[in-house]
Copies of this chain bind each other. A is one copy, B any other.
Amino acid sequence: MPTAIPSEAEVIRYMDTLSNWGRWGNDDEFGALNFITPEKRQRAAQLVHTGTTVTCSRPIVTDITADTTYQPMRFMIDSGEGRDTDPPERVLQRRGASEFIGMVFHGYTITHVDSLAHYFWQGKMYNGRPSRLVTSREGAQANAIELLRDGVVTRGVLLDIPRLRGIDWMTAGEGVMPEDLEAAERACGVTVETGDVLLIRTGYYRQRLAQGAINPGHDGSPAAHVACAPWFHKREIAMLGTDTHNDVSPLPYPNLGNALHVVSLVAMGLWLIDNCNLEELAQACATHNRWEFMLTICPLRLRNVTGSPVNPVAIF
């Protein structure tokens, strides 16, 4: 019997029933990343057989596209132009080519980690910290990305839903349900376990590559449905990454906004990776006929920031 779409009231009850507040102590800021142990990492390294590495990141470009909210910036401090004809004294003055880069990585286009300071529910973040600890002037003074300074290294598992269904991509508004995840597990012979980073492919980025960008806020997107939250909780995944912005759009929850964000980041302490590129990874998994791999995610050590652009790399 397929999982029913939960009502808004049911999703709001998840805030209690799936809560990990206090589970790892009242001071904990790591949330579900506590599921990753040194032993888990050591076993993940044993998955490296061929030494092939694969990015899970989209490129970061400065173009304005339909899904741009804030245009990424790249401005050269110095270029290579004119260097072949610079007079000698100018040659000595000029240093390397370099640039300013700037971005709002949250949004619909950049592959990034959401820290547990990114979302709030009723004035609180994960583990009951008050939202006012994230200030305009000082930034995120708790639950911030620098907690991950030593990286996230663990087993990654890819569940490729379009492959399971024999389609190119899921359509806007469609949600991956728990039975989809379990069917993908069976089809691939893999079982999601404690401390895994679960990557769910919907094909959304493949559609973007094939047909150009749409604005998911206006035109919708697939994702794992919030109905999967109890399943994520039971399986004790450490992190969730998807090739969309990680919430089905639109959602019929007027009071919840991005429901999976709220339940994951606030109640479960489940860190998210938004806007992955899982295209090369899906090919690599198919080539190796293996849907598990060592996965390394190394966020920038940005102080007091609610996440980081990342380039997650899978190693086969």
Instruction: Flag A38-57 by CB within 8 Å of B: 1 or 0 each.
Output: 11111011101111111101
Shortest Cβ distance from A165 into chain B, in angstroms?
Answer: 28
Shortest Cβ distance from A126 into chain B, in angstroms?
Answer: 12
Please judge, given known A-B contacts A59-B303, A298-B311, whether A98 and B73 are in contact too, CB under 8 Å: no
Please judge, given known A-B contacts A55-B150, A73-B102, A103-B100, whether A45 and B42 are in contact too, CB under 8 Å: no
In-complex Cβ contact of A60 among B83, B294, B300, B306 (8 A): B300
In-complex Cβ contact of A106 among B52, B77, B84, B307 (8 A): B77
Instruction: Flag A62-96 by CB within 8 Å of B: 1 or 0 each.
Output: 10100010110111111111111100000010111
Interface magnitude class on chain A: 35 or more
- Decide if A285 is an interface residue (CB 8 Å cutoff): no
Q: Is the interface of A mostly helix, strand, loop or mixed?
A: loop
Query: Which of chain A's residues 155-198 have a Cβ closer than 8 Å to chain B?
Result: none
Complex CA–CA separation, A120 to B64 (angstroms):
28
Contact A136 B51, beta carbon cutoff 8 Å: no
- Decide if A304 is an interface residue (CB 8 Å cutoff): yes
- Decide if A222 is an interface residue (CB 8 Å cutoff): no
Complex CA–CA separation, A95 to B123 (angstroms):
12
Shortest Cβ distance from A61 into chain B, in angstroms?
Answer: 5
Contact A80 B132, beta carbon cutoff 8 Å: yes
Contact B84 A151, beta carbon cutoff 8 Å: no
Contact A101 B48, beta carbon cutoff 8 Å: no
In-complex Cβ contact of A84 among B40, B85, B99, B114 (8 A): B85
Q: Which 9 A-B pairs have the closest CB atoms?
A: A102-B102, A84-B123, A80-B131, A38-B51, A41-B51, A81-B82, A75-B75, A45-B48, A80-B134
A contact set with B: CB distance below 8 Å? 37-42, 44-46, 48-55, 57-62, 64, 68, 70-71, 73-85, 92, 94-107, 111, 114, 117-120, 122-123, 125, 130-137, 139-140, 146, 149-151, 153, 254-255, 257-258, 261, 294, 296-307, 309-313, 315
Q: Give 14 CB contacts A-B under 8 Å.
A: A37-B51, A41-B48, A57-B300, A59-B303, A64-B64, A70-B71, A74-B304, A75-B75, A78-B136, A95-B258, A149-B311, A153-B313, A300-B300, A300-B311
